[in-house]
Structure 1
Amino acid sequence: MKIDEAIERLVTKLQEDQQEDGSWQYPFEAGTFTDAYMVILLRTLEQDDETLIQALVNRMLRLQEENGAWKLVQDEESGNLTTTVECYYAILYSGYVKKEDPRMKRAKTFILKNGGLEQTTLLTKFVLLLTGQYRWPSFFPVPIELILLPIAFPFNLFSMSVYGRAHMVPLLVAADKKLEVKTARSPDLSDLHGHSRHDPFLEWAEADDSRKLHGTIHYLVKKVTDLPEHLHQLAISRAKQYMMSAVEEDGTLFSYFTSTMFMIFALLALGHSKKDPLIQKAVNGLNSFQTTVNGHPHIQFTTASIWNTSLISYALQEANLKPEDPTIKKATEYLLDKQHYKYGDWVVHNPAVKPGGWGFSTINTIQPDLDDTTSSLRALTASALNDKDIREAWKRGTTWTSSMQNKDGGWAAFEKNTDSRLLALLPIEESKGILTDPSTPDLTGRTMEFLGNFAHMKNNHSILKDGARWLKKNQQKDGSWEGQWGVNYIYGTWAALTALDAADVSSKQSTIVKAVKWLKSIQHDDGGWGESCLSDRHKHYKSLAASTLTQTAWAVDGLIAVSDFPDKSIRDGIRYLLAHIEKHPWTEDYPVGKGLADRIYFHYHSYRHFYPLLALAHYRKKFKNV
């Protein structure tokens, strides 16, 4: 297949898949954990949506391995303990499969062989705690009074990431009440405890450091308030107020599945009935996250419509669709309608700037992120040249973007300067990934690429210079960069290379030379690239057994950005894309999006279409005469 033909086919495919409102609604697949949690939540609330519950159970059963386990990712060796516990629990709670079923017996054997409930990860332990399947510690190390500490303190609610707050606030309410909600249908998981007395959760909760943390927070709160006798009730009221202020129109908390689920448990802890309208609206919101994957219903973590729409519109324009093309006009109108006008939590650390960003999901109105903002701005740039209203929206978004640079020179996902060293040191499993929002190579890279190539910021501007300095400082020894929201070193390296090119960093500088050498060294024999999610577990690059279209497109696009001519690596990568665009091997269902390292990965069904299109379009644009 020729490049022009491949581009035309991909453009046609994307045009056909556009929705009437101008958006693209490809599935945002989250493995099995959201399906499992949905079943557990519905059974806990005694909302017997049997059609949905049975369909979700069937999907989980289809994904069970022969040994009884479930995997987090396809190339995991035998199975994943946490994922298996989640599916096992949900399927038993559904009532459609009994413990005596051979599939459940094999799952139980796998769970016990791998340490039992004690060795599951923190998110799952909280689900087990809230539904009466695990023991609350004698006290929770982080008291709810934390919410009363002013932002001037080095440790406070707003020193953690908004993602951390979205989950921590409802959990603090539930933990304060030691909430346990069991029903007549609750399965008995007491036989899933391991034989070892080692329990990371209880050890953390009851450790001396945790007791000191608990005492310190209480001491500080009493020092700064005039109502010490009412502290506890005041903290609970503030927590509820925070949650209610962050509820989106569809009833979800920050439009995330897990934070909404925890909010529902927090409301139960506060005395709301299971039939309360707030709870019902939240459940309906989660129901709206339904999509279809391989003919089965699946509950998405959220919707990815802004991300998909902005990236696809940009890729189509790089493939020479004009702003006045009906496809682009509809996408532009959709994106303009989704720009934020409300102040969100980000204003706490960046009070002098007006709203202007974009969020990830359809209904997100208060939690913008840098990725979706720069992606939307790229898609609007050409239209802004000839339309005053679009230009004003573009300027507002660009101002917000540049103002969100961290003091270290990089950019984070959601907020500014929320990378507290104190929070990262907390003895909480996954605390760095959950509670902090540090500068990352992928966010820094794509923001710089937008500012340099689309906002035409001069390369000697302090913003770009500081960003380039941050990237150089945070390069891995092998020449790569680690990605935060994609898998993983290929993702981060692609973003960094395109950023350095946009900042006019010479391709002869050692930073770029090392990165290019590394990318070429991991290219597969078939000309493609493929990286395993297990890179996170191993803390270094781990090759996938086969190449993927998306990761090949990332690698090729990065090399194109910093190359003056298409060498063998680039040409081989292009050949791989052309040969595989219409094929669908197992790697095209492999997740290359990341939510939380070694815990939450996402399969974007849109990526296989628009990322190859982008790489091919950039190749044609730069090397058409070579």
Structure 2
Amino acid sequence: MALKKQVLEEMNRLIEKLRTDQLPDGSWDYPFETGIKTDAYMIILLRMLELEEEDLIRGLVKRILSKQAQDGSWKLFHDEKTGNLTTTIEAIYALRYSGYVSNEESQMMAAKGFILKHGGLEKSQMFTQILLAIGGQMDWPSSFPIPVEAVLLPNQFPINFYDISVFGRANIAPILILSDTRYTKITNRSPDLSDLFTDREAGSFTLRQTRDLRSLLDYIKKGIDSLVGIQEDIHEKAINKLEMYMLNRIEADGTFYSYFSATFLMIFALMARGKTKEDKIIVNAVNGLKSMICEIDNLPHCQYTTANVWNTTLISYALQEAGVSKNANTIQKANQYLLSRQHYKYGDWVIHNKHAKPGGWGFSNINTLNPDVDDTTAALRAIRRQSIQNHHFRPIWDRGVEWVLSMQNDDGGWPAFERNIDNPLLTILPGGEDLLLDESSADLTGRTIEFFGKHTNLNKRYPPIKKGIKWLWKHQEEDGSWNSRWGICYIYGTWAALTGMRAAGVEAEHPSIHKAISWLNKIQNDDGGWGESCNSDIEEEYVPLGFSTITHTAWAVDALIAVSDKITPQIQKGINFLCHNADINNWRTTYPMGQGAAGLFYIHYHSYNYIWPLLTYSHFIHKFYKEY
């Protein structure tokens, strides 16, 4: 009973913490932290637009410098094998542009040495080379591999603009305008980065063209050639289509889809089209990005987006699972906030889902156009208890459920944002799988099945759920795990798949579940916890972190609870780890638990060390002590 007492004490501590941190509007705004990439971009943006935001710039400079490693580099995560070349280039570009750090300072010299040692500016990733081209640090290629006219290819063409994921489109649309116009913005403060090339002749960036890529681009160009003569001035028509695509998807805060990168690129794409920095659209976009700034350790951080809706869905549900009444003021406020964030507009998702009506939820506080499946099932979990008795909630619930069901891919799995965005031709393009596709994933599929199995009257016999379970079986790894798209990585995917299958009624004795349990037990650390490296995402196989984290342990224990009828030694050791390490405060506490894009950025959700332990504790108490 000592373990039960300790768990209940921890639950009460977490409940009180979450109650205290709730905002007056009912939401939680814990930071969505993505390293220093967006901080560097914000400095560059403000300097390019010649906006005197010196307090902000100095704060961002201090934050960037505080994250530098001893070898002069910046990393995407603590155990990245070497420093990250691209991130280090972005950091030194911003620091030089700021004017507050001398090139001769030891930290800057160390960063320069790291960059040159690892290949120089010309070895940075494509998006960073585009940034350098916009700032006049590299030349645009004489012709960008993908012509703007490609956006006019009809949806029936084997590869077209709407085959690309919404995240990919949001970034590609402004890039195509910028590359077509070869836009640059040089100011009196522009730094000279020419000393960071290893090859002084390397002045422009190029995309490495494989045979497959050349063949695909030739095919696209043939499709474009077929449009000539049918449509007049297809070049200008394509540019106008791209511009209107951006303008029609600006949110109320001025940002483009609430994404930092897309908004940053949109600002310069619109300036390439003739707008000035005084234009209302540009001013609003900059202010929208600034509105997403939060404070971490007394320093500003530019969030890639806000996570208010995601935080609030998860916290409201976790509190209710922990025994907080649906009638409590905390839950009432949270769920009223969520009601106000359900989508009523048609977004791009309707292109591949023509018969569905709006009803989803998005991720950020301001999102009204881009719902996703995971946020929607999370919101529905949060409002389920009210929807049973409150007639006001019922139609909201019904719209959400219908939208999620409609979003199932033809292969049986669930995506994040749009149906059937899995065109294999896109994998040939740079960044194809991470940025351009929105395929079915184990985490989305498992989480969606868990929602239906636990919170509706649908189970493994319902054809869509049955099809989803078969997708999970088909995509289980040989070792018994599942990879994920949005969490780190195999532990998250395995947790989602196991909890989903069990909720839908798959027997605990099923071979698929047995393999997964064996894998989780095998990778448990000696201290009772679990920990996985972000290197799993890059290497596409499970890479242990070498240390346990709170969130990974909560996911693993929750998965084992879902498939166990008694407290196993692995569960007990995991619960003990969670209880005894609640107050740790080191790099493991801030280790990223979310994926943005492999090798580009990873996410530390500041809410996760509260949400997932609380949910795991609740399921532990409910299942093994029959409380709540």
Using structure 2 for the length normalisation, give the TM-score.
0.97
Partner of 1:623: 624
1:162–1:414: 8 Å Cα contact kept in structure 2?
A: yes
Q: Deviations over 1:295-327 (max 9, x none)?
A: 101000000000000000000000011111100
Partner of 1:285: 288
The one-character-per-residue Cα deviations of 1:317-344 (angstroms, maximum 9, x if unpaired) are 0001111110000001000000000000
CA distance in 1, matches of 2:200, 2:140: 18
SS in 2 for 1:86: helix
In 1: Cα distance, 2:212 partner to 2:527 partner: 52
Q: How does 1:45-64 map to 2 (within 5 A)?
A: 45-64=49-68
The CA deviation at 1:196 is 10
Q: 1:420 to 1:201 in 2, by over 3 A?
A: farther
Deviation at 1:231, TM superposition (A): 0.4
Match of 2:197 in 1: 193
- Match of 1:564? 565
Report the CA distance shift for 1:199/1:517 in structure 2 as closer, same or farther (over 3 A): farther
Q: 2:475 & 2:43 partners in 1: Cα distance? A: 42
- Contact 1:474–1:481 (8 Å) recurs in 2: yes
Runs of 4+ displaced beyond 4 Å: 195-201, 207-215, 224-227
Please tell me whether the aligned partners of residues 141 and 204 of structure 2 are also in contact (alpha carbons under 8 angstroms).
no
Corresponding residue number in structure 2 for 1:178: 182
Contact persistence 1:145–1:217 (CA under 8 A): no
Report the AA paired with residue 356 of structure 2.
V
Question: 1:424 aligns to what SS in structure 2?
Answer: helix
Whole-Å separation in 2 of the counterparts to 1:480 and 1:218: 42
Distance in 1 of aligned mates of 2:200 and 2:420: 41
Aligned residues: 623
> How do 1:35-50 and structure 2 match up within 5 A?
35-50=39-54
Code of the residue aligned with 2:144 in structure 1: it is F
Q: SS in structure 2 opposite 1:453?
A: helix
- Counterpart residue type for residue 375 of structure 1: A
Q: Secondary structure of the equivalent of 1:595? A: strand
Structure 1 portions without partners, runs of 5+ = none
- Residues 197 and 533 (structure 1), Cα distance of their counterparts in 2 relative to 1, 3 Å cut: farther
Q: Secondary structure at the match of 1:291?
A: strand
The answer to whether the 8 A contact 2:485-2:595 is kept is yes
Note the 1:392-471 alignment, pairs <5 A.
392-426=395-429, 428=430, 430-471=431-472
Aligned to 1:359: 362
Letter of the 1:448 partner, please give it: I
The residue that corresponds to 2:612 in the other structure is 611
Instruction: Mark the CA change 1:15 to 1:421 in structure 2 (over 3 Å): closer, same or farther.
Output: same
Structure 1 residues 178 and 325: CA distance shift in structure 2, 3 A: same
Of 379, 393, 399 in structure 2, the residue corresponding to residue 390 of structure 1 is: 393
Measure, in 2, the Cα distance between the counterparts of 1:196 and 1:95: 25
Contact in 2 for aligned 1:593/1:603 (Cα 8 Å)? yes
Q: Is the 8 A contact 1:167 1:258 kept in 2?
A: yes
State the alpha-carbon separation in 1 of the partners of residues 328 and 553 from structure 2. Answer: 29
Aligned partners of 1:143 and 1:214 also within 8 Å? no
Q: 1:365 to 1:289 in 2, by over 3 A?
A: same
Verify the 8 A CA contact 1:384 1:390 in the aligned structure 2: yes
Residues 57-206 of structure 1 correspond to what in structure 2 (within 5 A)? 57-195=61-199, 202-204=206-208
Tell me, in whole angstroms, the C-alpha distance in 2 between the residues paired with 1:42 and 1:139: 28
Q: 1:297 is matched with which residue? A: 300
What is the match of residue 383 of structure 2?
380
Give the C-alpha shift of residue 537 in structure 1: 2.5
User: After superposition, what is the alpha-carbon deviation per residue over 1:510-569, rounded to whole angstroms, capped at 9, x for unaligned?
Assistant: 111111100111111110111111112222111113111111000001111111111000
Separation of aligned partners in 1, 2:388 and 2:373:
22
User: Which residue in the other structure is 1:242 paired with?
Assistant: 245
Runs of 5+ unmatched residues, structure 2 = none
Between the aligned partners of 1:453 and 1:563, the Cα distance in structure 2 is 16
**Partner-residue secondary structure (3-state), 1:280:** helix
User: 1:547 and 1:7 mapped to 2: Cα distance?
Assistant: 20
Offset of residue 269 of structure 1: 1.1
State, as a whole percentage, how many aligned pairs show the same letter.
49
Report the Cα offset of residue 117 of structure 1: 1.2
CA shift, 1:225, in A, is 6.6
Partner SS, residue 602 of structure 2? strand
Contact 2:531–2:549, Cα closer than 8 Å, also in 1: yes
Aligned to 1:550: 551
Alpha carbon RMSD of aligned pairs, Å? 1.7
- Partners of 1:400 and 1:526 in 2: CA distance: 43
Partner of 2:274: 271
Query: 1:141–1:210: 8 Å Cα contact kept in structure 2?
Result: no
Deviates more, 1:82-91 or 1:219-228: 219-228
1:204 is paired with a residue of what secondary structure?
A: coil
Question: Counterpart amino acid of 1:257?
Answer: F
Secondary structure (helix, strand or coil) at the match of 2:157 reads coil
CA contact (8 A) 1:142 1:213 kept: no
Contact 1:358 1:369 in 2 (8 A): yes
CA 363–225 in structure 1, closer or farther in 2 if over 3 Å, else same: farther
Please report how far the alpha carbon of residue 456 of structure 1 lies from its aligned counterpart in structure 2 after TM superposition: 2.2
Measure the CA separation in 1 of the matches of 2:481 and 2:424: 24
Q: When the two structures are superposed, what TM-score results if normalisation uses the length of structure 1? A: 0.97
Cα distance, 1:458 vs. partner?
A: 2.8
SS at match of 1:332: helix
User: Residue in 2 aligned with 1:261?
Assistant: 264
Q: 1:277 deviation in Å?
A: 1.3
Q: CA deviation at 1:78?
A: 3.9
Q: Could you tell me how far apart the structure 2 residues matched to 1:370 and 1:294 are? A: 33
Equivalent residues in 2 for 1:454-533, closer than 5 Å: 454-533=455-534
Distance 2:321 2:203 in 1: 53
Amino acid at match of 2:188: A
Query: 1 CA distance for matches of 2:329 and 2:186?
Result: 53
The C-alpha deviation readout for 1:76-105, integer Å capped at 9, x for no partner, is 244111111111110000000121222111
Deviation at 1:153, TM superposition (A): 1.3
Q: CA deviation at 1:625?
A: 5.4
| Helix, strand or coil at the partner of 1:479 | coil
